[in-house]
Amino acid sequence: MKLTIYHNNGCRKSREALEYIETKGYDVEIVEYLKTPLSISELKDLIQLLKINPMELVRKNESIWKENFMDQKMTDSQLIAVLIENPKLIQRPIIKSVTNAVIGRQMDNLIRFLKSH
């Protein structure tokens, strides 16, 4: 099975998830989303596969969020635009298969996801 990981090499959790996936022998495509930003349609597709709303994808402890966006009321479309413009705000890592996706920040989530495939 082919997986895609939306990866930030500067993040320990993302590196751990990638290493785990590779040690399990999965064919994995690595998308360094800070270097190659997602399009609006790619991000919308990921949100749909994750079965979450856009706010659940936001890293709310980031200073960019706290200083610029935390107190704003935004529609889902506006929030997606903020995430596209500020990819550092996107939770990581995200691991995607053809049929669904998971935020792999907690290793247990990643392990359950892989077992379900």
State residue 83 phi and psi, 5-degree precision.
-65, -35
User: Which pair of tokens denotes residue 86?
Assistant: 């500020």
Q: Return the active site residues.
A: 11
Mean pLDDT of the chain: 96
The candidate with the shortest Cα–Cα distance to 100, out of 76, 78, 82, 116, is 116
Q: Report residue 1's pLDDT band, with 50, 70 and 90 as the boundaries.
A: confident
Residue 117 has pLDDT above 90, yes or no: no
The pTM score is: 0.93
- Mean pLDDT score, 36-58: 97
51-101 residue pLDDT tens: 999 999 999 999 999 999 999 999 999 999 999 999 999 999 999 999 999
Q: Which of 22, 36, 10, 40 is nearest to 95 (CA)?
A: 22
Other CB atoms closer than 10 Å to residue 16's CB: what's the count?
15
Ordered structural domains, the chain, with CATH? 2-115 (3.40.30.10)
In eight-state DSSP terms, residue 39 is P
